[in-house]
Amino acid sequence: MVRQSRQNRSRFVKVKCPDCENEQVVFEKASSVVSCVVCSKVLATPTGGKATLQTDVIETFE
């Protein structure tokens, strides 16, 4: 019997809003538009795979 090891290919990232400097945790493969909870600026848009981040990544969580 052959066992396949599957790696977790998706992670969470901490991003910083360019407008209000709020730090927020976002899923890397978001399936819906992610907005800042403080100023409502769009931080990530879905693309069918990994989301397109509109801001800088501060930290990555495995």
Q: Which domains does the chain have, with CATH numbers?
A: 12-61 (2.20.25.100)
Please, what is the Cα angle at 32 between 52 and 26, to 5 degrees?
A: 60
21-55 core/surface letters (b: 16 or more CB in 10 A; e: else): eeebebebebeeebebeeeeeebbeeeeeebebeb
Confidence (pLDDT) at 62: 79
**pLDDT tens by residue, 7-62:** 777 899 999 999 999 999 999 999 999 999 999 999 999 998 899 999 999 999 97
* pLDDT exceeds 80 at position 1: no
Identity at 39, one-letter amino acid code: C
Stated pTM of the model: 0.78
